[in-house]
Amino acid sequence: MLDGTFRRTRLPNGLRIVTEQVPFVRSVSLGVWVQVGSRDEASEEQGLSHFLEHMLFKGTESRSAFDIVHALESRGGTLDAFTSRDLTCFYVRCLDEHVEAALDVLSDMVLNPALDPGEIEKEKSVVLDEIQNVDDTPEDLIHDLFAKAIWGGHPVGAPILGTPETVRSFSRSKMAAFHSERYSPDRIVISAAGLLDHERILEQVARHFPGNGPSGPLLRRDPPEVPERTVRHVRRDIGQTHICLGRMAYAYTTPKRYEFMLANTLLGEGMSSRLFQQVRERLGLAYSVYSYTEMLEDTGLFGTYVACDQSRVDQAVETVRHELEELKQGNIGEEEISSARAQLRGELVLGMESMGNRMTRLADDEIYSGDYVTAADSLAAIDRVTVSGVREVCEELLDDGKMHVVSVGP
């Protein structure tokens, strides 16, 4: 049996708790998900969500930065966080007996950050180094540039880390106002998976996350419009050229979700995919080649990536385009779809062995669709995917005339 016991509760202040009890482990993965990300920033605020994520580790009104991490690491647990375009997440993995200690630390971080001005100035240097690291790493930079091309001037395509100019402008007052407005209970989801008791977690959350509901205007997000096709090259004095080819695609809740995932799997996910076999194995044009998807609340993207020597760029790009055209023309067989189905099924089942993956699935389903999708339901949906369904997605998306092309290199 893959699925544990699912429970969901919404507190009077709007905060939601979703849990999955899995009795055959000793660990619990616990996440505090805040529905604010880089897309919710004004142009002068770019990078503020990510910077605030950093600052929540720098101490609270009652804990130092050391106290925060030591409280969990001294119990064998781990604490981390990330910021995405749609969300900010703070998460813990710990033994089941330490769940309340984890909630105590997480609630203190999320609700009571000190936002010390001296720590803010120090952290600016850290984040500026992080931005510089992306700029110095072409395989990272290319994806920032590609997202900007896909989503045009819409905030969803802005760099999550922000820019040096915006980061240098951040002040305590700006950060405190952003935190007060965006970190309200109605925008928080707490998800947990592992050896747990929902009622006990519910009581602990209610105690550690008090509040009276929204403190700012309701979150409003407008989906991006389809921008004009972009062809852009950014010069860098490096050995390889890095190229992304792709376009805007489906949101998380699309009815074509599994057809889209299967199309991506057979095209460029893994060493048996078409791109890997053609570009690397048969022609030896590149070491790194793959395709990928990103599905957000109301938009998404599909991309292909290849990095190769400048002398092989034209042939590599033409090979990628040929494989895209083959799929667009519907040259897909049942045997290939069966293999992609098996690959996706295996990834799903193996992923269910991780409480962190289960915790993330719970949160994504709650935030994006408001529904709980069991692993059994997902496996059944994968099995229902047909050759004609995948062909339809490929015909709709893989139009070369609508593909953005972004490259970084000599």
CATH number given to 231-409: 3.30.830.10
296 closest CA partner among 116, 84, 58: 84
pLDDT of residue 218: 58
**SS3 of the chain: helix, strand, coil, percent, to 5:** 50, 20, 30
Q: Which helix (H) or strand (E) element contains residue 164? A: helix 164-169
Distance between start and end Cα atoms, the chain: 53
Hey, what are 351's tokens?
């992923």
Give domain limits for the chain.
5-208, 231-409
Answer yes or no: 41 catalytic: no
Q: What angle do CA 56, 57, 58 make, to 5 degrees?
A: 90
Say which of 53, 269, 294, 297 is annotated catalytic.
53
Say which CATH superfamily domain 5-208 falls into. Metalloenzyme, LuxS/M16 peptidase-like (3.30.830.10)
Which amino acid appears at position 224 of this protein?
P
Which amino acid appears at position 13 of this protein?
N
pLDDT of residue 211: 72
pLDDT by 10s per residue, the chain, length 410: 688 899 999 999 899 999 999 999 999 999 999 999 999 999 999 999 999 999 999 999 999 999 999 999 999 999 999 999 999 999 999 999 999 999 999 999 999 999 999 999 999 999 999 999 999 999 999 999 999 999 998 999 999 999 999 999 999 999 999 999 899 999 999 999 999 999 999 999 999 998 766 555 557 788 898 888 999 999 999 999 999 999 999 999 999 999 999 999 999 999 999 999 999 999 999 999 999 999 999 999 999 999 999 999 999 999 999 999 999 998 999 999 999 999 999 999 999 999 999 999 999 999 999 999 999 999 999 999 999 999 999 999 998 889 999 999 99
- The model's pTM is 0.94
Hey, what are 79's tokens?
């604490």
pLDDT of residue 4: 86
Q: What's the CA gap between 275 and 269, in Å, rounded? A: 8
pLDDT of residue 217: 56
Q: What's the CA gap between 156 and 39, in Å, rounded? A: 4
- Adjacent-strand bridge partners of 288: 307
CB 9 within 8 A of CB 198: yes
Same CATH topology for 5-208 and 231-409? yes
Q: What's the CA gap between 319 and 273, in Å, rounded? A: 13
State how far the alpha carbon of 246 is from the alpha carbons of 106, 122, 203, 270, 288, in Å. 38, 38, 47, 18, 17
- Adjacent-strand bridge partners of 306: 243, 289
State how far the alpha carbon of 159 is from the alpha carbons of 34, 130, 166, 195, 312, in Å. 19, 12, 11, 37, 29
